[in-house]
Each structure stands twice: as C-alpha cells, then as structure tokens.
Amino acid sequence: MSTVSYRARQLLLGLVALTPLAQAQIPVNGGFETGTIASWTAGGDTRADAIRASYVSGTIVIPEGTWAGAISSGPGARTSGPLDFDGFGGNNDYDLSWLESTSAVTFSPAFVAFDWAFASSEQNEPDQFDDVMDLKADGVRIFSRSSCKLNGSSYSPLANASCQNAAVVNNTISNPATLNTVNLRFGPPSFQRACLEIPAATLTDNSVTLRFSVADSNDRAVDSTLFIDDVQIKTSCNEIGSIVQRTVTTGRNVELKGGTFFFRGANARLIANNSTGETVAFVTSADLGSNPNLLDQIYIWNGTAFTRATGFNVTSGGGISGLAMSYQDGGRYLAIAARLTDTATTQIYRYDRNTNTFLTLTSTPAGCENGTPTIDGDGNVVAFESTCNALTGSGTAKKIVVWNGTTNSSSLFGTTNNCTMAEPALTKNNNGRYLLFKSTCVHTSANADANFEIYRFDRGAAGTNSGTTAANFTRITDTTTNGAGGPQTNNSSAVLDGSTNGTYAYFLSDGNLTPSAANFNTDFSSEIFRYEVGAGTPMTQRTNSSDDAYIGVDVETDGTLNYAYERISLLNGQFSVGQRRVNGTSDIENNLATGLTTNGARIGRTSTVIPVVNFISAENFLGTNADRNAEIWQGRVQ
C-alpha cells in the first residue's frame, strides 16, 4: 500500500466570529424598523402599514426587531374590483392592496428573502372564498398562497398557507388607522422564512420592484392580512446568525489499495455535545492531530482545544456510523457505532474520555449490524439498534438492545415478532430510566396497520422493568394515514429531555396529530411535535410551516425551554438549523445558518443560560471556508 497526502490545519481560537464584507441592506427599510412604510409605496385600496405586536390583540411574534409590515383586504369591504388578480380567469377578486419597493440591484443571480405570515379569516368559509396573496418581481409572480381551509380544501390553484387556529378567536389590529379594526378571526399567524431567486430577466436594467399584495376572492366581506418582515435582496439564500467556525481543515488523501485508488477528503460528519453545548464530539476525516492518513476518527472540542480519542482507532476501510455523548457529566462518555477495519462488522463501543479507554459492548458475527447508539446522562446506560439474532433472538429483524452497565438485553420489550423497532433515544437525565423509540410492533394496544409509532418505555428505577407489562409503555402516537386513502403517517426522530421523570418527548411527524388545537397540520407537512407525559392535553404541534419540512430535532435538559431544529425549504432546497424557545403556541425562533450543506443541529445551554447549537456545514458563511470542507460550527443565541 502506498499513500500520498498533503494537509494543513488551523484552529480558530476564542469565540470571535469573522464577518463577511458589509453590503447595504436592500430594499431600504425592509424590516420596517422605522415604524413606518418609508421607502415603500402602498397601492390599490392602500390598506397597508407598519405594525408592532402591541397593535395586535392576541400574540404575534415579530421575527426581526419590533416592527413588521401588514397588508390587508380589510377592514370589511373596500372599493377595488372586481378584477382578475389571481390570473385564473374571471373578474372575481376584490379589495386589493399592496406594498412595493424599487431597489437598485447590480448583481446576478439575486435572491429575495423575507419572513411572511398570512392570516385569513376565510378558514371556515365555503371553499370558493379563497383569499390570495402574492409577491411579484417587476410584475412576475414568484410566490403566492391562498387561504388555509379547516377542511383541507384549496379552491384556487394556489397552494394553501398554514392555518392559524382551529377555533374562532376574533382578534383585531387596532393601529395604525389604515388597518384599524382589521379582523383576525383565527388569531395572529406564525411567521415563516422564504427565499427565492429573482428572475434574471427582471434585473437587466439593474433594478427590481418587489410588490406584496393581498386580495379577496369571490366576496368583499371577510378580511385576510399578509404580514411581512426582514425583506432582503441578497446574493444567495445563505443566511447566518451569531455563529463561529470551530474547525478549519484542508487536505485530501489518495490511497492505492487492491489495485484501486481511493480518495478521502477532510470532512466532518456526525456530531454530539454535552448539556452546556461547549464540549462537542464529532467524526472527521481531517487531521486535527494524529490523523495523517485522513481516516475516520473522533475528536472532542472542550471549549478551548481539540483532542483526538486516541484510544479508539479506525483503520483504512473502516468507518464510524453512529455517535452519542453523555449529557450531564461534562460529556465524559461516548457511545459509538463503528467498523474498526474494512472487514469488520459494525459494533457498539463506549469510550471514556477521562481514561482514554473504550469498552466493546457487542461482538457479533458477520451478517448482521448494530447501529444508532444513544447514551444516558452519566454514560451508564447505552441503547442501540441491532439486526443480530445473537442479541435480539429475532433473526435479522431490527430491534433495540439496551446495555445496562454490565449486560445487553432485548427482552425488556416483551414479544416483538415480525416487526421492527428503531431510533432509540435515552433520557438525557443521569438515571437512564426512560427510553424513546419508534416501532411497528404491538406494545400496548393494536397496531394493525404496522405503522411506525413513537413509544416511551420506563425501565424502572433499577432498570429491570419488563415490556410484558403494558403499563411500562407510554404510547405517544397512534396514527394511520394522512387523510382517507393517503400515505401512512411518518413518525420519527424522537428525543427525550433530561427531566427526572422523562416528561418531554420531541419528535417529527407529518400527521395531523392535534386537529383541534391552536396549531394543526391539515397540509400533512413534516413538523415538530412535543408530548408532555401526564399532561391533560399532552400533544402540541410546535412548528407550523407550509414551505418547509422539518427533518431533525434536539432538546436540551429542560424540555419546557429550548430545542434545536433542522429543516429543508421546499422552495429552494436549502437546509436551515437554529434554536426555538417554547412560547405558548408561537415559539420564538432564532435561525442560525441556512445553506445547501447545513445539518446536524445539537443543542445545549451554558451555565449563563445561553442556548448553544452545534452543527455541520460546508458553506463559506464567514469567508473562512473557501475550500468548502464540511466543518464544525457553533451558534449562540444571545
């Protein structure tokens, strides 16, 4: 075997993030922080102005600053129309108002990013009363939505916006005078972020006019209002908050093996952190110390420096497929799924950072695999997936195995024949008592459709509870299909907080699990849900987006406070990570990074109660990653 390699490495010191070259924000007053619509022009019935939260009864969370723009078809009947605003034939649209702004744009491609929320009082009206909103660039429609309907219908060809509430609450806007008495029948809406490319043809004169509009469809009687904020014309859809790049790596390795050349770049993947978010473990093929051949290795950032888990060695052809860190003990222990050589089977290991030693938890033969490890708060309990009959007694069916500090057992869960268990997540508390997982098995009641459902299992104070007792299970979801004849509901990615009683479970689902609540999911988008064990109404939908699919969630020790998210935009394919804080039915969001390669959000909270989110991205967010290697980043919510 011959090896040719070159590398260079740098470490970013401290918490000071470099900032890219400043560019004047366009359009001017895109966040309405002047408290006015200065630099914007109102048109049509001119029912448009700047608003703040105190002008709206109910709770509206302004995403950026303290002001936003609002454009309404109300209050009540206005004067414009009939006209064909929606463009689908027939002069059946009324009460048109808009806000527009013209900006010089001297670069191409150009993108417009904005926060938006559409509150339509038509939610419970007959289908044909389907009010519409849109965004046009030089008269070309680039974004549009119509009223959400409680029955899930969409009369117009325009996609539905998200619904606000299942019940009539009749909130109103009281100020300014142009919007006084506008009705928000179902309450203030939740904002979501969009980013779209501006058509190149509109930029040939080095300018563009953006127009946000709202119109009534088929009547004048019922109000619909579009809220907008933080409108920006940008060179890309990449966006950043308060972040720092933790690793700076370069290098590649070409290895001749068995007559074939293998290429390895220096890239990070898999990430975990402790409760403060300051200690971060990750897998990378970069050389951050003692890894000259750029093989998969584990490094830990302790807040000031990197160390490699030198007691854990992966050789050429091997690889690491799973990583978890104990949450409450400073991140002393790691649970790892890895093939140490090119011919090995994936086994589960526990690594002790204090002693630089690792313990082999499985030694299963070829032909089966172990993976997806999870570890409790003090590192004394590990759970993982296995298709190894020697551990599960279930042939090649995937099941969950628990290592209790001395032995492995899969008999905790009772008889689980002809079904699948997956995605274990132990409590972040030290006791290791509670375990979340998804399963097609029958644990507490019938599951005739074999859908993946989310369960919480109580191992008991001594870790000896049996799955043969249904009382040891809490069934969190009980789903079938998304609508009559629709696809099976997808429930996944459950995580458990660190409360003593394992109270708060967060997970992803595209089901309409809370149809009568303030937030519900008639469009069957992938959203984040929280289940509170023992609560009178245990299930709440925490996110509500028509333009995004949530694909990851993590929660800190206290499930009543902060959680991290990962999502993909259905408009542009960009991935975003950030933090959300529980706030009634309108959680407060801090997006930390958006880019095509951004993933793996893991959350902690410092001793000074600052939420910290660690993630992976190959983007050049701060001008410090020109080679686009996948690096470790850290965001803070001040």
pLDDT in tens, 61-102: 999 999 999 999 999 889 888 998 888 878 889 999 999 999
Model confidence over 236-259: pLDDT tens digits? 999 999 999 999 988 654 444 455
pLDDT band at 407 (very low <50, low <70, confident <90, very high): very high
Strands 297-301 and 306-308, by their bridges, are antiparallel
Looking at residue 290, its pLDDT comes to 78
Is pLDDT above 50 for 485? yes
Half-sphere exposure of residue 625, counting CA atoms within 13 Å on the CB side?
26
Where is 168: in which H helix or E strand? none
Q: pLDDT tens digit string along 142-189?
A: 999 999 888 877 787 888 998 888 899 999 999 999 999 999 999 999
Q: Is the pLDDT of residue 13 over 60?
A: no
Higher pLDDT, 540 or 314: 540
Q: Token pair of 135, please?
A: 């965004």
* Concatenated DSSP letters of 375-417: E-TTSS-EEEEE--HHHHSSTTS-EEEEE-SS-EESGGG---T
What pLDDT digit, counting tens, does each position of 341-384 carry? 989 999 999 999 999 999 999 999 999 999 999 999 999 999 99
Question: If DSSP states are collapsed to H, E and C, what string results for 509-576?
Answer: ECCCCCCCCCCCCCCCCCEEEEEECCCCCCEEECCCCCCEEEEEEEECCCCCCEEEEEEEECCCCCEE
User: Would you put residue 501 in left (φ > 0), alpha (ψ -120 to 50) or beta?
Assistant: alpha
Q: Is 572's pLDDT higher than 70?
A: yes
Between CA 372 and CA 324 the distance in angstroms is: 9
Predicted local confidence at residue 3, as pLDDT: 31
Q: Give the pLDDT of residue 265.
A: 64
Tens-place pLDDT, residues 577-627: 999 999 998 999 999 999 999 999 999 999 879 999 999 999 999 999 999
What confidence tens digit (pLDDT) does each residue in 182-211 have? 999 999 999 999 999 999 999 999 999 999
**pLDDT tier at 4, thresholds 50, 70, 90:** very low
pLDDT at 258 (0 to 100): 54
- For residues 43 and 98, what is the distance between their CA atoms, to the nearest angstrom? 5
Give yes or no for residue 427 having a pLDDT over 80: yes
The yes-or-no verdict on residue 402 having pLDDT over 90 is yes
Choice among 407-421, 451-465, 514-528 with the minimum mean pLDDT: 407-421
| Average pLDDT over every residue of 528-538 | 97
For residue 565, report the phi and psi dihedrals to the nearest 5 degrees: -130, 155
In this model, does residue 17 exceed pLDDT 90? no
Write out the DSSP string of 101-154.
EEEE--SSS-EEEEEEEEEETTTTS-TT---EEEEEETTEEEEEEE---TT---
Give phi and psi for 516, each to the nearest 5: -110, 10
What whole-number percentage of the chain has pLDDT above 70? 94
Written as one letter, the residue type at 504 is: Y
Mean of pLDDT over the chain? 90
The predicted structure's pLDDT at residue 256 = 41
State residue 96's pLDDT score: 96
Overall pTM surpassing 0.85 (yes/no): yes
Q: What is the rounded distance in angstroms from the CA atom of residue 346 to the CA atom of residue 329?
A: 27
